Structure 1
Amino acid sequence: MPVSYEVDQLLTDDFPENVKKLDQEDPLLQKYVKLRHLTPPSKLPYNFPRGTYMNGHSQVVAHIFRNKTNGTFFEAGAYDGVAASNSLYLEKEFGWRGLLVECNPYTIPVLKMKRRKAWIADVCLSPTKNPATLKFSNPTKWGPSARLGDPVDLKAFGVDTPWTKFEVEAMPLFALLSAVNLTEIDFFSLDVEGAEFDILKTIPFDKVRIKVIDMEVYFYSREVKNEINDFLKDKGFQLQGSGTSDHFYIHSSFKINGD
C-alpha cells in the first residue's frame, strides 16, 4: 500500500514540529509511528540461551490467567528483552504476543537482536497525548535505570555511576497501541522510572481494555501512590498486591479464576 502524501511529508525530517501537533488518536500519527518507530515481531529463532525466563511478575500473571495461551501483553521498560523481562516467559511458554517499548538508544539494538516475537517501539512514552522531545538520562554502568528527566541516586541499589544526558523522541501510548491494533491487553507492564502516572493519565480507557496492570511505584511518595490507586480505582481497577517497588492491579471485569 503506498504511503499517503501527508505521512511521506512527516518522514522527511528527523522529527518535524508538525508531528508534535498531532493528537494520539490521529490516524496520521499512528501511521507515522508505525513507519518510523515500530519493528515487527521476528520470524527467526530466538537469539539468546534457552531457559524459561520466568520471574515473579510473569509467574503471578501466568497463575492469574491459569496458563492461558495466546494472550496479549504490553511492556514498557523492556530493556534488552531478556534480562528481568516481565513478558518473555508468557511469550515463550504460552505463545503470548504484544508490544515492547524501550527508549534507551544504547539498549535498543540489543533488544532487536534478541528476535522477540513481539512488536518493538524504539521511543519513549510521552507523558502527554502528543509527541514531544524530552530530556533523557542514562546511567553508564546500569542500563535498566535509564529514565526521563534528571539522574537519580542509585546508591541504594549498590550502584555508583556517572550519567549521560541527551534528547529522545516521545510518542503517546495510544498512538503506539493503535498502530499495532493492540487495544485488548491481558497484561500491561509499566516500568519507566518515575513517569508511570503521567503515562497512565493519557490512556483512553474507553478505547483500551486492560485486565491486569503491573507498574513500578518506587519513585513515588505515599501520597502519590494513593493518588494512583484512586485514579485506577475510578477506571475500574482494584489494587491486588503492593511492595516497595511495584503495585499490581486487576480490573473488576476480570475474574481472577478466568474471564
Structure 2
Amino acid sequence: MSSVLCHGCPNASGLIVLTLLAAATTRYTVIVLEEVSASWDPSCNQGCISTHLSGAPTWNDPDLIDAIRNYFLLPPLRIPDASPADVSTFVWREVADWSRMQKKLLELWKDQPPGTFVEVGVVDGLFMSQTLLLERNLNWTGLLIEPDPRSFSRLRQSRRNATVTDFAVVPKVPPGAEVNHGSKVYVKGAPLSTLLLAAKMTRVDLLTIATGTSDDRRKVTDVIGSDRGFDVKSILIQYQRDLLSKNPYPQVKGYVYDMGRSSLLVRLYWKRTHCHPLEGNECKRQNYFDLTEGCSRYICDGHAVVWSF
C-alpha cells in the first residue's frame, strides 16, 4: 500500500476500511467503486484517498483481514436467545422441505459435541435458517452472513448466539466487473475465505449457503479446496428449481453427495477425507425424486452413515 504524506489521512486500519467500502455488490453481485467519499476525514481530500485505493485489494492481506475482524464482525449479543426451538412452530416449516431437513440435522448431530457453522444468506436469522435449531437446541455457534441492510438490521434483533457480518460473499473478480440484477444496493463484498480468516474459522462443521442465485457453489470454492487450508466437514446448498431441472445431482469436488438426507432443493455433502467406505453395500432408491440409486455407503465424520452413488 503506497505511503503518502497527508495531514489527517486515515491510518493503516482506516485505509483498509475505506478499501473495503470501495467493494460493493448489487445484493450478491460485485460492483467495484472507483472512488470513495472523503467524509471519513474532512481534512483529507479525495486525491489523497484515491492514491491509497489505487489497484485491487489483496484479499489475503493481513491488514485487510484484521480490519474486517475489528470493524465488520459483530460478536453475539451479551444475552442471546437460548430458548429451545420446536420445528413445528415455524409458519414456513413446509417450505422447500425446511422442517424435514431440520429434523435430519438435529438427529444427525444430537449425540455429538456442539459444532460450528457458517451460514451465507441468513436473511433475518430466523426465516428458514438452516442453523437456527442447531444453535438453539444443540448449542452450536458460528458466523452468520447477510449483506442486505434491511435483513441485517433484523438479524441483529434476532438475538442469535453467533458472530454476524453485513458483507456479501463474492467470488474473486477483477476490479471494475459489474453485473446488474434489479435495483442497486451497495454493500461490502469479499471472498468467503477472507471472511473466515477474519473470523479465525479454518475448521467448520457445517457450511450452508442460500443466496437465491445460481452460482452459490462458485461462492464457496475458495474454502472447500483441499489446498486452501480450510476443513469444512459438510456443506448444505439450497439450489434453484430451474438449475435442478437441468442437473438433478450437482457434484461438489472433494465431497460425497448424501442422498439419504438431501431433499429436492437442498443438497447435503460430506468432505471425502472425513468419510470411509462401508462393506456390504446394496443399491437402493433413497427418495421419490431420485433418478438413480445410491450404491455406495460411507461412514462420515465417524458418526454419519451416508449413501452416495
> How does the TM-score come out when normalised to structure 2?
0.63
- 1:140-155 counterparts in 2 under 5 A? 149-151=180-182
How far apart are the structure 2 equivalents of 1:236 and 1:208?
A: 14
> Pick from 65, 76, 79: which aligns with 1:41?
76
How far apart are the structure 2 equivalents of 1:209 and 1:185?
A: 6
State the match for 2:145 in structure 1. 101
Question: How far apart are residue 239 of structure 1 and its match?
Answer: 4.0
Please say which structure displays the higher CA radius of gyration. 2
Query: Are 2:172 and 2:191, in contact at CA under 8 Å, matched by a contact in 1?
Result: yes
Aligned-partner residue type, residue 110 of structure 1: R
State the match for 1:213 in structure 2. 235
Query: Are 1:20 and 1:130, in contact at CA under 8 Å, matched by a contact in 2?
Result: no
State the match for 1:198 in structure 2. 218
Aligned residues: 225
**Residues 70/202 of structure 1: CA separation in 2 closer, same or farther (3 Å cut):** same
**Residues 114/64 of structure 1: CA separation in 2 closer, same or farther (3 Å cut):** same
**Residues 41/130 of structure 1: CA separation in 2 closer, same or farther (3 Å cut):** farther
Question: Is 1:246 aligned to 2:277, yes or no?
Answer: no
Aligned-partner residue type, residue 212 of structure 1: S
**Residues 70/132 of structure 1: CA separation in 2 closer, same or farther (3 Å cut):** farther
Question: How far apart are residue 205 of structure 1 and its match?
Answer: 2.7
How far apart are the structure 1 equivalents of 2:178 and 2:68?
A: 17
Query: Are 1:61 and 1:187, in contact at CA under 8 Å, matched by a contact in 2?
Result: no
Question: How far apart are residue 51 of structure 1 and its match?
Answer: 5.1
| SS at structure 1 position matched to 2:268 | strand
- 1:92-171 counterparts in 2 under 5 A? 92-128=136-172, 149-151=180-182, 164-171=183-190
Identity %: 20
How far apart are the structure 2 equivalents of 1:11 and 1:185?
A: 26
Q: CA RMSD in A?
A: 3.0
> How does the TM-score come out when normalised to structure 1?
0.74
**Residues 165/21 of structure 1: CA separation in 2 closer, same or farther (3 Å cut):** closer
| Structure 1 unaligned spans of 5+ | 136-148, 152-163
| SS at structure 2 position matched to 1:249 | strand
Query: Are 2:84 and 2:137, in contact at CA under 8 Å, matched by a contact in 1?
Result: no
Question: How far apart are residue 7 of structure 1 and its match?
Answer: 1.9
Query: Are 1:238 and 1:250, in contact at CA under 8 Å, matched by a contact in 2?
Result: yes
State the match for 1:60 in structure 2. 104
State the match for 1:173 in structure 2. 192
Question: How far apart are residue 192 of structure 1 and its match?
Answer: 0.8
| Structure 2 unaligned spans of 5+ | 1-9, 23-33, 35-52, 88-98, 276-298, 305-309
- 1:14-33 counterparts in 2 under 5 A? 15-16=21-22, 18=53, 21-33=56-68
**Residues 96/131 of structure 1: CA separation in 2 closer, same or farther (3 Å cut):** farther
